[in-house]
């Protein structure tokens, strides 16, 4: 039986939503559960997902300001969302919130080849921007594996990395300035268009990676680079994990500066082969995929990386001769998560450790898998030590799901014990929040909470996430 208090709260909420509807165009506010249910959670699959009061799909900064002013008046939680491709529960709704979906703000406002910047709205898809700037001979490097669906706003919220960050860095390295709507509806403009500028505190880098807890990004000025020539690729299959790691370390210390260096473990290689016949041997224990995009040197680079792999005991080495063959070799890495999803439900961790501790991490994963009676795959951006230990389990078995969550937490603790971090690029969200204070320490965590309180004194912005 529904309590009188619940009935009263619902009536108050309905009146508040009516006020919001009156202030915005008719197609901006969604309240029908058949429509709003799709906005309840991101791709993580785990973590609580509440029922939103409504979903707002703004098309302008002014509409976002209207929503935040309304939310402040009525003390309504606000959950900003992009494409909901995240893997940490950072975009999950909370009960009674307003979800602000930014996907309709998807315009590329400017591409400037002289200053080498792009000005975009947050709903622009990463791959769409990358292709648009390439037509101008420019390059936007951050390329998360979800680049075909993830948005620039979501990438900014989590400070996303990707396959090419081993050479080019992560999202924050390419954000020059932001328009951010604060909790009370004020518009904050951070940073600048120029390549250099040190006036004042760097609020841009503070907002990047804040997961929607400090404000809602409505515009970004992004730094671009001249487009490199098409990359060439080498792939090597190993019969032993230590040999693959030794080859990766030699490549990174060789001065070749790979634009991509990826690792697939035996479970992932087998899953990829099962999904699509790529001729991968059934006894493969590990696979490395590397690229070079150095002008005039890429062919030489991949040949040398192939020789390094062979020297370290690779059982098969394939060197691409052109961009088409390179794309084919890279397919295995792009398919990794999709392939693993064919064998069970996934809890994707995001632990980064110093490269020198990668062997210890992989050994620890094997130990955790045995202790918790789960399967753990581990595709990784091995060039920068960012690994994705992925717990694969049967969701219809409650005991298996519980063991998977325990293993997920064990992996984070293992990463911290090796001098690493609980998240290299996915963000803290809900799933990793319990260990954030452990990683940051008391002083840093308390200071960051104070900054959050300054930006959002009522605590309405993405509550229960990150900090």
What is the secondary structure of 125-172 as a DSSP string? BHHHHHHHHHTTTEE---B-TTTTT-BHHHHHHHT--BTTHHHH--GG
Does one domain contain both 299 and 310?
yes
| Token pair listed for 16 | 């508040």
Domain span at 54: 4-101
Same domain? For 205 and 117 the reply is yes
The answer on 260 and 248 residing in a single domain is yes
Rounded CA gap, 262 and 72, in Å?
45
Instruction: Return the pLDDT at 329.
Output: 85
pLDDT(7) > 50: no
Identify the residue whose tokens are 């900003």.
Answer: 80
Query: What is the chain's length?
Result: 467
pLDDT at 45: 77
CA–CA separation, 399 and 393 (whole Å): 10
pLDDT at 9 over 60: no
Domain presence at residue 386: no
Tens digits of residue pLDDT in 26-39: 899 999 999 999 99
Clarify whether residues 74 and 118 are in a common domain: no
User: If you average pLDDT over residues 394-398, what whole number do you get?
Assistant: 92
Please check whether residue 460 lies inside any domain of the structure. Answer: no
As a whole number, mean pLDDT of residues 377-381 equals 96
Boundary of a domain, candidates 304, 335, 366: 335
pLDDT tens for residues 164-214? Answer: 999 999 999 999 999 999 999 999 999 999 999 999 999 999 999 999 999
Strand partners, 421: 352
Structure tokens at 419: 């001098």
Q: Where are the beta strands (DSSP E) in 208-324?
A: 216-223, 225-226, 232-238, 260-265, 286-292, 314-319
Counting Cβ atoms within 10 Å, is residue 136 exposed (0-12), middle (13-18) or buried (19+)? middle
Structural domain contains residue 422: no
Q: Which CATH number does the domain housing residue 129 bear?
A: 3.30.465.10
Same domain membership, residue 188 and residue 274: no
Task: Look at residue 342 and tell me if it is in a domain.
Answer: no
In a domain, 406, yes or no: no
- 84 and 194, same domain (yes or no): no
d(CA 327, CA 318): 13
Question: Is residue 149 in a domain?
Answer: yes
Query: Do 123 and 154 lie in a common domain?
Result: yes
Say whether pLDDT at 2 is over 70. Answer: no
For residue 144, tell me if it sits in a domain.
yes
- Same domain? 82 vs 121: no
Q: Tokens at residue 133, please?
A: 């700037």
- Predicted confidence at residue 327, as pLDDT, reads 86
Q: How many domains does the chain have?
A: 3
Please say if the pLDDT value at position 236 is more than 50: yes
39: domain CATH number is 3.30.43.10
Cα–Cα distance between 260 and 143 in angstroms, integer?
11
- Is-contact 418 200, C-beta < 8 A? no
Question: 25: pLDDT confidence band, cut at 50, 70 and 90?
Answer: very high
Using the predicted structure, report yes or no on whether residue 359 has a pLDDT greater than 60. yes
Q: What 3-state class would DSSP assign to 20?
A: helix
**pLDDT for 5 beyond 80:** no
The pLDDT value given to residue 384: 95
Q: Is the pLDDT of residue 299 over 90?
A: yes
Indicate if the pLDDT at residue 3 is higher than 80: no
Q: Is the pLDDT of residue 12 over 70?
A: no
At residue 134, the pLDDT reads 97
In the predicted structure, residue 10 carries a pLDDT above the cut 70: no
- For residue 95, pLDDT beyond 90: yes
* H or E, element range at 251: helix 241-252
Listed residue (120, 130, 196) closest to 153, CA to CA: 120
In a domain, 399, yes or no: no
Instruction: Provide the CATH number for the domain around residue 293.
Output: 3.30.70.3450
47-79 tens-digit pLDDT: 899 999 999 999 999 999 999 999 999 999 999
Q: Are residues 215 and 250 in the same domain?
A: no
User: So what's the pLDDT on residue 330?
Assistant: 86
Question: Of 101, 118, 133, at which residue does a domain stop?
Answer: 101
Show Cβ contacts of residue 125 under 8 Å, excluding neighbours closer than 6 positions: 83, 106, 147, 148, 149, 150, 151, 152
What integer pLDDT is reported at residue 331 of this predicted model?
87
Q: Which H, E and C letters describe 405-461, residue by residue? A: HHHHHHHHHHHHHCCCECECCCCCCCCCHHHHHHHHCHHHHHHHHHHHHHHCCCCCE
User: Which of 287-296, 300-309, 324-333, 454-463 is predicted with the least confidence, judged by mean pLDDT?
Assistant: 324-333
Q: What are phi and psi of 177, to 5 degrees?
A: -160, 155
pLDDT bracket for residue 159 (50, 70, 90): very high
Same domain, 54 and 132: no
Is pLDDT above 70 for 441? yes
Which of 335, 353, 381 is at the close of a domain? Answer: 335
Residues 306 and 209 in one domain: no
Same domain, 244 and 187: no
């Amino acid at each position: 039986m529904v309590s009188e208090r619940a009935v009263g709260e619902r009536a108050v909420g309905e009146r508040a939503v009516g006020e919001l509807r009156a202030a915005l165009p008719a197609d901006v506010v969604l309240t029908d559960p058949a429509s709003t249910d799709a906005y309840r959670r991101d791709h993580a699959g785990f973590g609580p997902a509440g029922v939103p009061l409504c979903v707002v799909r703004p098309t302008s900064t002014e509409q976002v300001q209207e929503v935040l002013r309304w939310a402040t008046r009525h003390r309504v939680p606000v959950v900003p969302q992009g494409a909901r491709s995240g893997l940490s529960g950072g975009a999950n709704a909370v009960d009674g919130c307003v979800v602000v979906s930014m996907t309709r703000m998807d315009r590329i406002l400017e591409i400037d080849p002289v200053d080498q910047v792009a000005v975009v709205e947050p709903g622009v898809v990463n791959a769409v921007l990358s292709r648009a700037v390439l037509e101008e001979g420019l390059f936007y490097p951050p390329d998360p594996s979800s680049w075909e669906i993830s948005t620039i706003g979501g990438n900014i919220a989590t400070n996303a990395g990707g396959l090419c960050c081993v050479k080019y860095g992560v999202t924050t390295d390419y954000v020059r300035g932001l328009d951010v709507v604060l909790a009370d509806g004020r518009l904050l403009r951070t940073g600048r268009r120029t390549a250099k500028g040190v006036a004042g505190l760097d609020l841009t880098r503070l907002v990047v990676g804040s997961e929607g807890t400090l404000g809602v990004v409505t515009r970004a000025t992004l730094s671009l680079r001249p487009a490199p020539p098409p990359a060439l690729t080498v792939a090597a299959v190993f019969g032993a994990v230590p040999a693959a790691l030794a080859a990766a370390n030699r490549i990174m210390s060789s001065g070749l500066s790979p634009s991509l260096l990826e690792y697939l473990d035996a479970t992932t290689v087998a899953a990829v082969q099962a999904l699509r016949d790529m001729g991968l041997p059934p006894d493969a224990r590990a696979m490395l995929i590397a690229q070079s995009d150095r002008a005039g040197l890429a062919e030489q680079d991949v040949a040398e990386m192939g020789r390094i792999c062979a020297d370290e005991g690779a059982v098969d080495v394939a060197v691409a001769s052109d961009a088409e063959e390179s794309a084919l070799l890279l397919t295995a890495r792009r398919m990794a998560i999709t392939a693993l999803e064919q064998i069970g439900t996934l809890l994707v961790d995001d632990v980064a450790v110093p490269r020198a501790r990668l062997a210890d991490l992989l050994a620890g994963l094997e130990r955790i898998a045995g202790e918790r009676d789960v399967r753990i795959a581990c595709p990784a951006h091995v060039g920068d030590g960012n690994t994705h230990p992925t717990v694969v389990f049967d969701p219809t078995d409650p005991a298996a799901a519980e063991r998977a969550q325990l293993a997920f937490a064990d992996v984070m603790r293992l990463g911290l014990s090796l001098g690493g971090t609980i998240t290299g690029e996915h963000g803290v969200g809900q799933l990793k929040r319990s260990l954030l204070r452990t990683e940051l320490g008391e002083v840093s965590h308390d200071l960051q909470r104070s900054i959050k309180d300054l930006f959002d004194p009522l605590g309405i912005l993405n509550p229960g996430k990150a900090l």
